């Protein structure tokens, strides 16, 4: 089970340098039964267990690297059986780097991780890095959002400024790091609105818009979001890393 797997004990299935070129067709059997198995053609790991984030990151990478066969080349932490990393850092960037390093080491592939959250001005930046477990149970989006709304119940609109924050890290198996940030400022609504997106999307109305993030179509959200900005800044590094020897989506297709 993923929870029982310790990434620090996992043997990288390929030499780090070789993993960027291609993954082994037939990885050698590993004595550690929980060791990760890298699918053929995998070239990048998305080090997240959050399905909403994962869908956004995949769409962003597909847009930034149109020649990359994203289905084949981009794998995620869950499908590799990588465990959730304990987020022991005290900043978004520290946690993003922790997650990316753990995935890169365990897989032998470059890894992208994002640590993100909602920072509310009147709460001095909380929930911040605790956004995913604000109500006490990790990943309970509804409980997190309801607790936040209850806490701010008496706060009028003019004092409900808040913003999403994202630190996105790219780490290579050799340990090279790139880190980028993005922000999306807005106002917290009094009630959730919309059913798109994930997490706190139904309660943040971005500045300049009259809808919540959960009412935006995914492309619109990705264009303006904290994650979209951080990934756009990370893109040149991803392109540089993946454009050599990338399996083309189709023979002859433009890269």
Name the closest residue to ligand ITT (Cβ): 199
Give the Cα separation of 18 and 68 in Å (integer).
Answer: 18
With residue 56 as reference, give the H or E element that holds it.
helix 51-64
From 115, 140, 141, 210, active-site residue = 115
- Among 83, 164, 228, 229, the residue binding ligand ITT under the rule CB under 6 A is 164
Strands 177-188 and 204-206: antiparallel
Q: How far is the CB of 217 from ligand ITT (least distance, A)?
A: 14
* C-alpha distances in Å from residue 218, one per residue of 140, 144, 188, 195, 210: 21, 22, 20, 12, 16
Q: How far is the CB of 53 from ligand ITT (least distance, A)?
A: 5
Q: How far is the CB of 68 from ligand ITT (least distance, A)?
A: 21
Question: SS3 of 116, please?
Answer: strand
Closest CA to 105 of 11, 241, 238, 30: 11
Give the Cα separation of 155 and 188 in Å (integer).
Answer: 10
Specify binding-site residues for substrate.
48-53, 116, 198-201, 221, 226-227
- Among 5, 65, 115, 231, the residue binding ligand ITT under the rule CB under 6 A is 115
Q: Which residues are catalytic?
A: 115
> Site residues (CB under 6 A) for ligand ITT?
48-50, 53, 87, 115-118, 131-132, 139, 141, 144, 164, 197-201, 213, 225, 227
> Site residues (CB under 5 A) for Mg ion?
132
């Amino acid at each position: 089970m993923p929870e029982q797997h310790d990434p620090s004990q996992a043997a990288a299935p390929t030499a780090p340098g070789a993993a960027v070129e291609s993954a082994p067709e037939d990885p050698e059997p590993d004595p550690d039964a929980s060791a990760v198995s890298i699918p053929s053609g995998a070239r990048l790991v998305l080090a997240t267990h959050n399905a909403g984030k994962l869908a956004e990151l995949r769409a962003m990478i597909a847009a930034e690297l149109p020649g990359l066969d994203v289905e084949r080349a981009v794998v995620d932490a869950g499908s590799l059986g990588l465990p959730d990393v304990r987020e022991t850092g005290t900043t978004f960037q520290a946690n993003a780097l922790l997650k990316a390093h753990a995935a890169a080491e365990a897989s032998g592939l470059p890894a992208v991780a994002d640590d993100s959250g909602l920072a509310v001005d009147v709460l001095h930046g909380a929930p911040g890095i605790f956004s995913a477990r604000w109500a006490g149970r990790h990943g309970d989006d509804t409980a997190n959002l309801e607790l936040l709304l209850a806490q701010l119940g008496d706060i009028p609109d003019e004092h409900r400024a808040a913003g999403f924050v994202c630190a996105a890290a790219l780490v290579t198996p050799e340990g090279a790091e790139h880190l980028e940030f993005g922000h999306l400022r807005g106002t917290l609504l009094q009630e959730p609105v919309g059913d798109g997106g994930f997490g706190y999307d139904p309660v943040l109305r971005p500045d300049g818009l009259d809808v919540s993030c959960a009412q935006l179509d995914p492309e619109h959200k990705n264009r303006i979001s904290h994650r979209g900005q951080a990934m756009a800044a990370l893109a040149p590094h991803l392109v540089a890393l993946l454009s050599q020897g990338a399996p083309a989506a189709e023979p002859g297709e433009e890269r």
